[in-house]
């Protein structure tokens, strides 16, 4: 069992009951630097999980420390975490000699209440996830976001009643924008859990494995991921996904295989990767 790092709690998920799939998705996100979207009604643990992202990231090497310290204008020893609060404007992200948003470089970019963010903030987010740059500076960062699943916020709730029609739900997600949604590698629904029957056992976190897989992903070429497309096509024959969506699914599958110590991606792993990206229209709530 790998020892916990000094800059992390013994287990970031120690006091979070249930949410097993979401916890595992966060670990994959940290290991593969894969953008993740969590959605669901209030009280399901979205914001709580976002607060634990920084604890999953591996330590910085000396070269990254020097680069980040130069961008921040001060010594930086831990991976930075930058959150975009509600009401922040595009100009706020770009202010400074080195843009404020670039403080998330080599760390994590956290965006809660994604549906309530300004449209140009969401547009910027999509651009960053695509280019890994902002304002002429590098911005390689783990993007993790959270949002409600409908306008009334009750979709997926065991307590509240969602009265949104299918058209209203589609309109809500259209507001978030297909270009942004298409750039998330994983999208998971969090629903209210019965705490009396939820799994109490904590999720084991292997920090050394996260760091190893992260290094592996950085060394893998785009061609290696593209080579998985025939398997993706075979497994999901007839699915109408964009090329980006197919590519990201292959990237998630490769991350899972590396995390599990598998040399090749199997059909079961590809199917598992696909199940980590399901929007409301795929879940048939109504």
CATH number reported for the structural domain that contains residue 144 in this entry: 3.40.50.300
Instruction: Identify the DSSP state of 54.
Output: G
- Collapsing DSSP to helix, strand or coil, 147 comes out as strand
Q: Are residues 159 and 43 in the same domain?
A: yes
> Looking at residue 199, what is its pLDDT?
56
pLDDT tens for the 286 residues of the chain, in order:
344 444 444 688 877 888 889 999 999 999 999 999 999 999 899 999 999 999 999 999 898 899 999 999 999 989 999 999 999 999 999 999 999 999 999 999 999 999 999 999 999 999 999 999 999 999 999 999 999 999 999 998 878 889 999 999 999 999 999 999 999 999 999 987 665 555 555 567 889 999 999 999 989 999 999 999 999 999 988 777 889 999 999 999 999 999 999 999 999 999 999 999 998 877 655 4
CA angle 79, 257, 38 (to 5 degrees): 55
Q: Among 145, 130, 148, 124, which Cα is nearest to 248's?
A: 130
Tell whether 135 and 250 lie within a shared domain: no
Phi, psi of 173 (to 5 degrees): -75, -25
Partners of 238 in the β-ladder: none
The conformation of residue 6, written as its DSSP 8-state character, comes to T
Please check whether residues 221 and 183 belong to one and the same domain: no
Q: Identify the helix (H) or strand (E) that includes residue 126.
A: helix 119-131
Give yes or no for a contact between 252 and 187, defined as CB atoms under 8 angstroms apart. Answer: no
Q: Is 13 within the bounds of a domain?
A: no
Q: Are residues 262 and 185 in the same domain?
A: no
Is 14 a member of any domain?
A: no
Quick check: is 6 in a domain? no
pTM of the prediction? 0.91
Domain membership of residue 45 (yes or no) is yes
pLDDT at 1: 38
The answer to whether residue 156 is domain-embedded is yes
Query: What integer pLDDT is reported at residue 3 of this predicted model?
Result: 43
Is residue 204 one of the residues assigned to a domain? no
Would you say residue 195 lies in a domain?
Answer: no
d(CA 30, CA 41): 24
225 phi/psi in degrees, rounded to 5: -70, -40
The CATH number covering residue 230 comes to: 1.10.8
**149 and 55 co-located in one domain:** yes
Query: CA 54 to CA 102: how far, in whole Å?
Result: 16
Residue 241: name the closest of 182, 286, 187, 166 by CA: 182
- Show the 3-state SS of 265-285: CCHHHHHHHHCCECCHHHHCC
β-bridge pairing 133-134 and 108-111: unpaired
In the chain, the number of structural domains is: 2
């Amino acid at each position: 069992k790998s020892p916990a790092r000094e800059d992390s709690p013994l287990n970031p998920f120690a006091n979070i009951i249930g949410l097993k799939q979401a916890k595992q998705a966060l670990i994959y996100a940290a290991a593969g630097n894969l953008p993740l979207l969590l959605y669901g009604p209030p009280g399901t643990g979205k914001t709580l999980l976002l607060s634990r992202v920084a604890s999953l990231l591996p330590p910085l090497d000396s070269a990254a420390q020097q680069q980040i310290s130069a961008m921040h204008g001060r010594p930086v020893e831990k991976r930075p975490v930058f959150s975009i609060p509600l009401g922040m404007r595009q100009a706020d992200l770009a202010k400074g000699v080195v843009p404020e948003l670039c403080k998330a470089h080599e760390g994590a970019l956290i965006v809660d209440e994604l549906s309530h963010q300004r449209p140009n903030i969401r547009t910027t987010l999509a651009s960053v996830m695509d280019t890994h740059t902002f304002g002429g500076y590098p911005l390689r960062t783990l993007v993790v976001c959270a949002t409600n699943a409908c306008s009334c916020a009750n979709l997926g709730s065991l307590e509240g009643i969602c009265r949104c029609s299918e058209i209203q739900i589609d309109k809500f997600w259209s507001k978030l924008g297909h270009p942004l949604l298409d750039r998330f590698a994983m999208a998971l629904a969090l629903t209210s859990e019965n705490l009396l029957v939820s799994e109490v056992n904590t999720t084991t976190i292997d920090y050394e494995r996260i760091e190893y897989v992260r290094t592996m992903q950085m060394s893998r070429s785009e061609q290696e991921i593209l080579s998985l497309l025939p398997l993706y096509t075979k497994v999901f024959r007839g699915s109408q996904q964009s090329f980006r969506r197919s590519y990201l699914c292959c990237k998630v599958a490769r991350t899972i295989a590396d995390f599990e110590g598998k040399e090749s991606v199997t059909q079961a792993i590809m199917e598992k990767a696909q199940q980590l990206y399901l929007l409301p229209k795929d879940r048939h709530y109504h």
